[in-house]
Amino acid sequence: MGVKIEAAVDLHCHYGPDFINPAHQMQFSVTAIQAAQEAANAGFAAIVLKSHDFPTAALAYTLNQIVPGVRTIGAIVLDHQVGGLNPWAVEHALRLGARVVWLPTVASHQDYLNGLGPRLGYPGTGIRTTGDDGHLLPVMHTILDLVAQHDAIIATGHITADENYKVARAFARRGRVIVTHAGEPAAGPHLSQAQCAELAGLGAFIELTAQECVPHLGYPPCPIKEVARRIDAIGPQQVVLSTDYGYSTEVPRPAQGMRDYLDGLWEIGVSEAKLKLMAADNSARLLGLKG
């Protein structure tokens, strides 16, 4: 028998269809409605729908009419499909109720460097949030201002380590920043434990995902004890736990996967109080679901 965390929140819930699935020759494990229904059945407070193809606020609005017992929340990913760093897309997604704005993911410069962007057919060297001078682009300040005005979250997506620091320094003290699936080997900048602790010190929240602890896309699982060490180094008050599941049948379905993740951490000694803080309270506060 595992730990039971009431009102968990999954800030990173994929679903199908999404171009990522056929591009990787994978079958998605859940539709959006299945993800919401299973989260409701598991006693979750909320899930955030993530799509690489289009903003999800309108879909979330519809699901909230037909799936009771859980709050489904929309978001936007700033890849090529919405025009990249596009303030118009950001503003209208936020006005429709999106609560999370992910900076470029698979279309980022970092995933170009990783080789993922070219494998997915993206042109050029990827989307950058900084210019040749190393400073955030003017359009980034416009986007950050919009996120602040709507009291939403900027998530760092798959941008480079340097870009993560630039965003955290520019925004984490006046707004809400989540460093996306820190340490994840499959995409993004592969941040170290020390870098995660530094970014948390700047005021960012560090997302540690369940996906890292299961085999996926040819990568071996990260030992759950390593995740616990990272939590101790960062401090649970600056950590959010989510899944990054739903995009493939190779990994667990999101709701069950979150429960397995929390059980695994609890079994190696992470306290129920810390798990509740990281899997429910921190995320709910970031989304504005509680004071």
In whole angstroms, what is the distance from residue 45 CA to residue 268 CA?
Answer: 25
Higher pLDDT, 66 or 19: 66
CATH no. for residue 211? Answer: 3.20.20.140
Q: Which two tokens stand for residue 178?
A: 């989540």
Question: Quick check: 215 pLDDT over 90?
Answer: no
pLDDT band at 186 (very low <50, low <70, confident <90, very high): confident
Contact between 156 and 182 (Cβ < 8 Å): no
Could you tell me if residue 291 is inside a domain?
no
- Alpha-carbon distance 11 to 19, whole Å? 20
Chain centroid offset of residue 160 CA: 15
How big is the CA angle at 119 (ends 114 and 122), to the nearest 5 degrees?
90
Look at residue 21 in the predicted model and tell me its pLDDT.
64
Residue 3 lies in a domain: no
Do 236 and 278 form a contact (C-beta atoms < 8 A)?
Answer: yes
CA 266 – CA 245 distance, rounded (Å): 20
Question: Residue 215 CB: number of other CB atoms within 10 A?
Answer: 11
DSSP symbol at 279: I
Start-to-end C-alpha separation, the chain:
32
pLDDT, position 172: 98
CB-based contacts of 64: which residues, under 8 Å, 6+ apart? 71, 72
Beta strands in 158-248 (DSSP E): 176-179, 205-209, 239-242
Domain total of the chain: 1
In a domain, 198, yes or no: yes
Q: Looking at residue 136, what DSSP letter applies?
A: B
Contact 175, 148 (CB under 8 A): yes
pLDDT value at residue 101: 98
By residue count, the chain amounts to 291
Residue 67 domain flag: yes
Residue 261 domain flag: yes
Scan for tokens 């679903």, then name that residue. 15
Asked whether residue 271 is domain-assigned, the answer is yes
Residue labelled with tokens 């965003």: 167
- The answer to whether residue 2 is domain-embedded is no
Lowest mean pLDDT among 10-24, 133-147, 174-188, 252-266: 10-24
Domain that holds residue 273: 9-286
Q: Which two tokens stand for residue 243?
A: 């899944």
Where does 51-114 show beta strands of DSSP type E?
A: 71-73, 75-77, 100-102
6 in Cβ contact with 259 (< 8 Å): no
Q: Token pair for residue 193?
A: 């434990």
Inform me whether the pLDDT recorded for 28 exceeds 80.
yes
Q: What is the mean pLDDT of the chain?
A: 95
pLDDT (0 to 100) of residue 42:
97
Taking the model in full, what pTM does it have?
0.96
pLDDT-derived band at 219, boundaries 50, 70, 90:
confident
Q: What is the pLDDT of residues 89-114, one digit of tens each?
A: 999 999 999 999 999 999 999 999 99
38 located within any domain:
yes
Beta bridge partners of 245: 13
